[in-house]
Amino acid sequence: DTAVSQTPKYLVTQMGNDKSIKCEQNLGHDTMYWYKQDSKKFLKIMFSYNNKELIINETVPNRFSPKSPDKAHLNLHINSLELGDSAVYFCASSQLGTSGSPPSNEQYFGPGTRLTVT
Amino acid sequence: GENVEQHPSTLSVQEGDSAVIKCTYSDSASNYFPWYKQELGKRPQLIIDIRSNVGEKKDQRIAVTLNKTAKHFSLHITETQPEDSAVYFCAAPASLFSGGYNKLIFGAGTRLAVHP
């Protein structure tokens, strides 16, 4: 029944490692997002995909690479992890209405992945 | 681009009191304003939203008001309860994509504590 799911929920790793976070939504939405929430709770958008096409790419280091194999999945790969990458990463989805169905604008968030880089 | 400012950053009230959180935005073209609630360790969840064709919207104990001229909108929670304790985020859209808003700019959040 989970609408937006992410794995893993927790990720502890050392500096310099490469890691991936996976996201899946079963809402039939056409758009998915990655957000970063830092220790001060500030929510900042990183990437957005619409029907597997990248439509938002904020000023994010190129160590971060999103991939959308289909419109229900959006993964985030991070190379050469740094201490400053420690945060909670949220996946979200919404319906922008690009496939004929009307837009709804509400963004549904996944449970988050708490990444700790040591 | 869109800029959203949110005040206060923390708010402490007694159970039963009202709480008000205010946000201002910069892009006069924005016309969709959601509010999200994030409980400790949980995901942000939409609690109410408003479009620019109305000035106020209510849902039980929560309401949102919008002043387009002044470019600010507010969340009002009446008869607060301990379970209202959470971080609340306002947001405004930054760009329109094929009829929907693909980019939301979030305020910095307000940590609301309701004391029994």
Return the pLDDT at B98: 61
Calculate mean pLDDT across residues B28-47.
Answer: 93
- The per-residue DSSP string of B57-92 comes to EEETTEEEEEETTTTEEEEEE-S--GGG-EEEEEEE
Chain B touched by A60 (CB under 8 Å): no
B101 touches chain A (CB under 8 A): yes
Residues in chain B: 116
R_g over Cα of chain A: 14
CA A14 to chain centre: 21
> What per-residue confidence (pLDDT) applies to A95?
86
What average pLDDT does the segment B33-60 reach?
94
A109 contacts in chain B (CB < 8 Å): 43-45
Flag whether residue B49 sits within 8 Å of chain A, measured between CB atoms: yes
Q: Which residue did the predictor score with more confidence, B110 or A96?
A: B110
pLDDT score at B99: 59
- Beta strands A64-70; B4-7: pairing state: unpaired
Which one of A43, A56, A104 makes the best mutation probe of the B interface by having the most chain B beta carbons within 10 Å? Answer: A43
**Among partner residues A48, A50, A106, which is closest to B46 by beta-carbon distance?**
A106
Say if A69 is an interface residue toward chain B (CB within 8 Å).
no
Q: How far is A82 from chain B (nearest CA, A)?
A: 23
Contact A105 B103 (CB under 8 A): no
Tell whether the model's pLDDT for residue B109 goes beyond 80.
yes
Q: Which residues of chain A have pLDDT under 50?
A: none
Is the predicted pLDDT of residue B97 greater than 90, yes or no?
A: no
The more confident residue out of A55 and B9 is: B9
Tell whether B98 is within 8 A of chain A (Cβ).
yes
| Separation CA B77–CA B68 (nearest Å) | 21
CB neighbours of residue B40 within 10 Å: 8
Phi-psi region of B50 (alpha: psi -120 to 50; beta: other; left: phi over 0): beta
Q: What is the pLDDT of residue B1?
A: 72
Tokens standing for B111?
């940590």
